[in-house]
Amino acid sequence: MKTPLFPFKAQIIDIKIETADTKTYTLLSKDAAYTAKPGQFNMVGYPGVGEAPISLSSSVTDGIFQHTIKGVGRVTKFLERFKIGDEIHFRGPYGTHWPLDMQSGNDVLIVAGGVGLAPLRPVIHEIVKMRNFFGKVTVIYGSRSPDNIIFMDEIETWRKDIEVFLTVDEIPLNMKWNYDVGMVTKFIDKSTVNPLNAYAFICGPEIMMLFVSKGLFFRGFLPSRVYVSLERRMKCGIAQCGHCQHGSKFVCKDGPVFAYKEITKLPDGLL
């Protein structure tokens, strides 16, 4: 009998290099019934090496889905050597999802930093697909420098349907850059969404999510309508081991997507 920790296999059917350390893997699940919602994650890995929580960076269609993975440590650097045709192991989907279903007619503000755009990409795809269902939509995406931007070729196509601010903290000497410069917080006031009618989804480094949330509240957003995706070290992914416990919450099961107002009740809040 299969336990909740039993992994499935998925074959790599495409690999796209996003940046020097980040790739998007297109995977075909061997579990035909596999499905997931934007914001959920899989525990991805390989026997004998380990597992790491990785969000879905696409929706799931006919067992095909994507993970966008930055090589930072034991598991993710091991996966960097995988080629098309190789198989990875995964279990999931786990965790909560972005509450996109609640938003008929509402404005949406999406703020992402670095590889934090990956879990929000399927939300943007859904919005573009059902564009008339939403009000004004803005994406603010910031990265350290132009060569750290993921999904660069795709971002331009989003501009047809939604407002996009693409910004970097700094431009290296001799690098051409035709977009914005400055922290993502600088663009909160430039977005045309109406705070009284909007939901906000934020994903990136925790310090960035803290300052973005504060900027949104200052602009009139309600804490019950601001959602963040938290990152904590995880082992089991099913709220058994306690590695990701954050006050009374398990980030793997109660999150990773939380309404800001849920987190403020925790002893150490956001950060």
Ligand X SMILES: Cc1cc2nc3c(=O)[nH]c(=O)nc-3n(C[C@H](O)[C@H](O)[C@H](O)COP(=O)(O)OP(=O)(O)OC[C@H]3O[C@@H](n4cnc5c(N)ncnc54)[C@H](O)[C@@H]3O)c2cc1C
In the region spanning residues 10 to 49, those forming contacts with ligand X, defined by CB under 6 A, are 41
Q: Binding pattern to ligand X, positions 95-134, x when CB under 6 A?
A: --------------------x--xx---------------
Looking at beta carbons only, is 59 or 68 nearer to ligand X?
68
- Single-letter residue type at 83: K
CA 52 to chain centroid, in Å, comes to 15
Place of tokens 């407002």: 163
Burial environment of residue 152 by CB neighbours within 10 A (0 to 12, 13 to 18, 19 or more):
middle
Residue nearest to ligand X (CB): 73
* DSSP structure string for 163-217: EEEEEES---TT----SEES-GGGGTTT----GGGEEEEEES-HHHHHHHHHHHH
Looking at beta carbons only, is 55 or 103 nearer to ligand X?
55
Per CB under 6 A, 137 contacts ligand X:
no
Task: Name which position in 12, 27, 43, 52 contacts ligand X (CB under 6 A).
Answer: 52
Q: What's the token pair of residue 183?
A: 């922290």
Query: CA–CA separation, 92 vs 107, rounded Å?
Result: 30
Query: CA–CA separation, 260 vs 201, rounded Å?
Result: 10
Cβ 72 to ligand X shortest distance, Å:
5
Cβ 112 to ligand X shortest distance, Å:
11
Cβ 22 to ligand X shortest distance, Å:
7
Q: How many positions of this chain bind ligand X (CB under 6 A)?
A: 22
Cβ 271 to ligand X shortest distance, Å:
15
Residues in contact with ligand X by the rule CB under 6 A: 41, 50, 52-55, 68-70, 72-77, 115, 118-119, 231-232, 234, 256
